Structure 1
Amino acid sequence: MYFRILHDESQGLVSYLLADLDAREAVVIDPRAQDVRIIEAMLQEHHLLLKARLFTHAHDGLAPADAQIRSQQLQQGGLVELGAEHLRILNTPGHTADCLSFLWRDRLFCGGLLSAAECPRQPKVAAPQAMWDSVMNTVFKLPAETLTFSSHARATSPVSTVMAQRRHHPWFSGLSRDDFLNLMPH
């Protein structure tokens, strides 16, 4: 497998490229227009076919125009095939109403779910109750060693673990649901 992180530190935006080198297939998660040339170069260098562009979220409820996989294929528990590998789809609304996360092996690509305060396009959480439920009932139920990958990281690292998030996340660690909801801007 081939895995690359594309991090624009000035904007705090992160994209991810995953590829099965044997099958010559790749997916990109949360690609930015500015990354197109770099992604194309990596695909060409390894003779890879881009199988899908996956988006963990779209702002203002609008799906990105170039999203190849969305709607019926992106259902809870569904799979995105990548050669001999697959990514499991998890519905994790909160940062935006239609947020998704993609679980690959022990890695969770969760978009803005755990880093909504870092988002340059939407500083407020769209659905605080849904976010609480997504984090507590989906993300925090994963094994502690699961790596989390954010699509927003200006002041923080884009990579963490479920255990670190459980212990240290400023919105979820040690707070009740009511405390969390009171913290969220209205």
Structure 2
Amino acid sequence: MIFRQLFDPTSSTYTYLLGDSGEALLIDPVYEQAPRDLALLKELGLRLLATLDTHVHADHVTAAWRLHQSCGSSIALAEAAGAELADRPLRHGDRIAFGSRHLNVRATPGHTNGCLTYVLDDESMAFTGDSLLIRGCGRTDFQQGSAQQLFASVREQILTLPDGCLLYPAHDYRGITVTSVAEERRFNPRLGGDVDVGDFTGHMNNLHLPHPKLIAVAVPANMRCGQPEGNAPVPDAPSWAPLTLRFSGVWEIEPMALLEHLDRVQIVDVREAPEFIDQLGHLQGARLVPLSQLMARVDELDRERPVVAVCRSGVRSAQASVLLAKAGFGQVANLAGGMLRWKLEALPVASDSV
């Protein structure tokens, strides 16, 4: 069996690829990472049968619809979630085959009402979504969540698996990749040891966490299995640089990719003048055009050359990318993570002033 654990750094989401005899499944695919996943499937000689979401996510948009459009894969998630476009609604006890192997579906509601855990046929590994994280669990305060229900789900459906069963969550924010039933049964501070339902509900009901930043976008989109509003088609990837399409419709370029293409593009820095020469510095050859002036100065740019918009974090430059595209620029990208990412990756900056 082929197994790969993939990671989306923006949402700290793990996507899992399982393959056997030329057939594959993807668990919790991320919209922006669909090109990566398709490339891997092609390299490994696998045909994608289905995408499986562990639940309706609130922190990223699923790639289920996008992958279905690309290769005809089925879209599977919990029937209880009530999502549109899912052509394979799943219930507790269902079986999902790929090659000579299969996953067993276990309903594990509590984080949301439609959470599922996928267990490999020999119970050597299970994919728990947000129901059970490494030394933690998903929150229970929205999307029909229930602390009591989650406690029962984890204790009865996950921690009853064999001690050596490896558990793979949908997220980890510290870079830890895997745990086991024995570890979580002993060391999970919320659900392991002698914790009872009263301890757990008391803890979960007093977390008072802010809602995920993307919840207003992600949940409605995931209720459509990742289909953009209006069934807008996914545009072909530009050829001038390796770009990633965000669900917002903005193409992004990673810092290292931009460094390799600096001599071929126009860099438009949309920060204010004092920021251009602050401790973050600016890119060699960048033109300073504050976002508030961009549309008035758009004729200063060459419409025939690709444009990369830059700001501190990637937020203002994403808006600049949208404005430039609306103004008729056909080759526009946003620098992923802005100058913060550029500096974090220790890439070169210019030292000249405005």
Smaller-chain TM-score bracket: 0.7 to 0.9
The answer on whether the counterparts of 2:28 and 2:54 sit within 8 Å (CA) in structure 1 is yes
The answer on whether the counterparts of 1:18 and 1:27 sit within 8 Å (CA) in structure 2 is yes
Report the CA distance shift for 1:178/1:110 in structure 2 as closer, same or farther (over 3 A). Answer: same
Matched, 1:110 2:128: yes
Give the TM-score, by structure 1 length.
0.87
Report the CA distance shift for 1:6/1:74 in structure 2 as closer, same or farther (over 3 A). Answer: same
Distance (Å, rounded) in 2 between the aligned partners of 1:175 and 1:109: 23
Range moving further from structure 2, 63-72 or 128-137: 63-72
Question: How large is the RMSD of aligned CA atoms in angstroms?
Answer: 2.4
Residue aligning to 1:88: 104
Partner of 1:114: helix, strand, or coil? coil
Residue aligning to 2:56: 58
Distance (Å, rounded) in 2 between the aligned partners of 1:85 and 1:160: 22
Amino acid at match of 2:180: T
Matched, 1:100 2:83: no
Partner of 2:48: helix, strand, or coil? strand
Report the CA distance shift for 1:136/1:112 in structure 2 as closer, same or farther (over 3 A). Answer: same
The answer on whether the counterparts of 2:112 and 2:140 sit within 8 Å (CA) in structure 1 is no
Aligned pair partner of 1:28 in 3, 26, 29: 26
Residue aligning to 1:44: 42
Partner of 2:172: helix, strand, or coil? coil
- C-alpha displacement of 1:25: 0.6
Distance (Å, rounded) in 2 between the aligned partners of 1:124 and 1:30: 21
Report the CA distance shift for 1:155/1:46 in structure 2 as closer, same or farther (over 3 A). Answer: closer
Structure 1 residues 77-156: aligned runs within 5 Å: 77-104=93-120, 105=122, 106-115=124-133, 124=141, 126-155=145-174
Distance (Å, rounded) in 2 between the aligned partners of 1:124 and 1:69: 25
Report the CA distance shift for 1:118/1:11 in structure 2 as closer, same or farther (over 3 A). Answer: farther
Kindly indicate which of the two structures has a greater share of residues assigned to strand: 1
Deviations 1:3-24 (A, max 9, x none): 100123453211101111x2x1
5+ long unaligned stretches in structure 1: none
The answer on whether the counterparts of 1:118 and 1:155 sit within 8 Å (CA) in structure 2 is no
Higher relative contact order (CA 8 A, sep 6+): 1
Distance (Å, rounded) in 2 between the aligned partners of 1:111 and 1:52: 17
Partner of 1:138: helix, strand, or coil? helix
Report the CA distance shift for 1:59/1:47 in structure 2 as closer, same or farther (over 3 A). Answer: closer
The answer on whether the counterparts of 2:140 and 2:146 sit within 8 Å (CA) in structure 1 is no
Amino acid at match of 1:170: P
5+ long unaligned stretches in structure 2: 66-73, 80-87, 207-354
Distance (Å, rounded) in 2 between the aligned partners of 1:128 and 1:118: 10
Distance (Å, rounded) in 2 between the aligned partners of 1:54 and 1:124: 24
Amino acid at match of 1:102: Y
- C-alpha displacement of 1:34: 2.1
- C-alpha displacement of 1:33: 1.1
Distance (Å, rounded) in 1 between the aligned partners of 2:186 and 2:137: 19
Amino acid at match of 1:141: T
Range moving further from structure 2, 68-77 or 166-175: 68-77
Distance (Å, rounded) in 1 between the aligned partners of 2:41 and 2:100: 18
Residue aligning to 2:6: 6
Distance (Å, rounded) in 2 between the aligned partners of 1:149 and 1:69: 19
